[in-house]
Amino acid sequence: MMLSSVHVKIIVFLLAGFVSGYAGNIYAIDQKTGIDEQAQLPFWEVSTGGMSLRLIQRLPIQSRGYFLARGFNATQAERIARSCIFQTVFKNTSQGGQPGKASTLEYNLNDWRVIYKGKKRKMKTRQDWASEWRAEKVSKPAQIAFEWSLYPTSQQYKPGDYNWGMSVFNLEPGSRFDLEITWMQYGRKNTAIIKNMECAPDINPQPTEAL
């Protein structure tokens, strides 16, 4: 029943993997892209043992229809639709970690940066849009719908909390850019850069022809 040193090393390696798998590695940052199953559109995702952020393309035609139905006129709906919108889901997943490793997550979109053609700039937040809508005397119900449809500018998530909303990067359809994100968790500031994101092109998808 004696274990060789190789066996012992393998067991130690697996136990370490087990512990870090259960705890989730709270600092290591994973990134992936693919096609979102529900939206059937490209997504970019960042996750650690304590959080996950998924940004899913929204087609301009989707946003155009959505905001027309909520009281915006055609010009305003067009402006929103062509502003590079991503459906955003940001979760505090730290509850799945090692006992005692659950941690509050905080972020502020004003700290995030869109990197486009070598230059950095802020995102366009609820507050930026609100002043435009007030100046244009947009109806109150439309303003309310817009405000709550957009991703919250800042938020604090306890374990298990998350939001779902639209993020606006204010670029032309089809533009490619990097996104620098920051968030506070486990008592420290965390940063990641999501490379080569792409604003959805302004296309009008046709139904697939039946065979």
Partner 1 sequence: MKNIFYILIMIVSLTGMSLAMAGEKKQTLPAVAKPFKAPEFALKDENDITYRLSDFRGKVVLINFWATWCPPCRIEMPSIERLWQKVKGKGIVILAINVGESADTVFKFTGQLQLSFPIPMDTKGEVIKKYPAAGLPTTYIVSPAGMVTHRAVGSREWDDPVLMKQLMAMRIPNRNGK
Q: Name the residues that contact partner 1, by CB under 8 A.
A: 1, 3, 7, 10-11, 14-15, 17-19, 21-22, 24, 66, 70, 91, 93, 95-97, 140-141, 144-145, 147-149, 151-155, 157-165
User: CB of residue 69 vs partner 1: minimum separation in angstroms?
Assistant: 9
User: CB of residue 203 vs partner 1: minimum separation in angstroms?
Assistant: 23
Cα torsion 74, 142, 37, 24: sign: positive
User: CB of residue 17 vs partner 1: minimum separation in angstroms?
Assistant: 7
Q: By C-beta, is 19 or 28 nearer to partner 1?
A: 19
Distance CA 136, CA 178 (A): 31
Distance CA 103, CA 124 (A): 28
Residue matched to tokens 């960042």: 46
User: CB of residue 145 vs partner 1: minimum separation in angstroms?
Assistant: 6
For residue 1, the SS3 value is: coil
Task: Break the chain down into helix, strand, coil percent, rounded to 5.
Answer: 30, 35, 35
Q: By C-beta, is 58 or 171 nearer to partner 1?
A: 58
Q: By C-beta, is 141 or 201 nearer to partner 1?
A: 141
φ, ψ (nearest 5 deg) of residue 108: -145, 120
Q: By C-beta, is 60 or 97 nearer to partner 1?
A: 97
